[in-house]
Amino acid sequence: MKATYEKLALSQGQSFRCFDRRINRIPSRWHRHPEIELTYVPTGDGSRQVGDHLGTYTNNDLVLIGPNLPHTWVSDEFRGQKFDMHEGIVTQFDAAFMGPNFFSHAEMQPIGELLKRSARGLWFPPSFALTLRPRLYEMTILEGPPRLICLLEVLNMLQKFEGAKELATIGYVGPTSSSHESRMQVIFDYSQNNYTDPTLNTGRLAEKIKMNPSAFCRFFKNSTGTTPTAYINELRIGYACRRLLDSDRSVLEICHDSGFSSTSNFNGTFRKLRNMSPRQYRAQHVKLQSSELS
């Protein structure tokens, strides 16, 4: 199995990349690369994994990812397909693309500190992402000096914002070998594409990388800090949360849509992970949206 390390090529006349992922037809997979990445997803929802952090994304998702930090976005709309054609503006640059000490200069040190913090992944709230949106779209079409200046302006806006949330845990260490990395890619990609299948379990994941279930559980726990069952449940509950908010389907229908075979298991797992029932979760967000509109 090919390792998840991704080598990025620059276009002629460019020192960094900025593109709409739909145009580049990027495969949906768990991967890493030495470049720093800023990803902005304007609309849609799905699951996002950065290092050992697994979360849900919605409109105006903005994340800064440090060098060699494994990550993936999987949209609900294109889950299971080779290419995720969901819109996303992706900016990628080497930390030393303007010289090894550029971000150490006095004027650039605040940005340098931002880039160091990106080692764990930094999430920025939608309200702030909207302020960057025009500049990110503009950067995809700019050329020459204005393009580079635009990147520096975006980085300056990011470093000024004080509410960024770190995603991966302190001390997170990614895969330690290419074989380890390849196995994790198989597990994560297969899980992301099949978690709504109620028959997906630890045994099936173990079979995918030809390990016995006991050894696989130890391998997965050592790699992620959680169990395979907990990982699958988090994917399923994240999907259920999105459906509770963006559809009129009943709780029972969403239970089965999300891959749970029993409502008792669904309700118990949901309460454990979200500290409330599915109905309470839906009602709380409906109330919140109503207050924002009033």
DSSP letters, 85-97, are: ----EEEEE-TTT
Q: Tell me what pLDDT residue 1 has.
A: 31
CA atoms within 13 A on the CB side of 155: 26
Nearest by Cα to 149 from 8, 15, 12: 15
Cα(75)–Cα(85) distance, integer angstroms: 9
Whether the predicted model's global pTM rises above the 0.85 cut: no
pLDDT in tens, 209-251: 999 999 999 999 988 888 999 999 999 999 999 999 889 999 9
Q: Which two tokens stand for residue 146?
A: 């204005």
63 near 219, Cβ under 8 Å? no
Q: List phi, psi (to 5°) of 240.
A: -60, -40
Classify domain 17-166 at the CATH class level: mainly beta
CATH 1.10.10.60 maps onto the chain at: 195-293
State the amino acid at position 20 in one-letter form. D
160: tokens are 């000024």
- The token duo for 40 is 């902005």
- Read off the pLDDT band of 182 (50, 70, 90): confident
The CA-based dihedral angle spanning residues 78, 83, 89, 94, taken in that order and rounded to the nearest 10 degrees: 140
Name the band, by pLDDT with cuts 50, 70 and 90, for residue 2.
Answer: very low
The confidence score (pLDDT) of residue 9 equals 66
Mean pLDDT of 137-143: 94
Q: Which residues of the chain does CATH 2.60.120 include?
A: 17-166
Which tens digit of pLDDT belongs to each residue from 74-98?
888 777 666 667 788 999 999 999 9
Domain at 195-293, CATH from 3.40.50.300, 2.60.40.150, 1.10.10.60, 1.20.810.10: 1.10.10.60
Confidence of residue 168 (pLDDT cuts 50, 70, 90): very high
Q: How confident is the model at residue 27 (pLDDT cuts 50, 70, 90)?
A: low
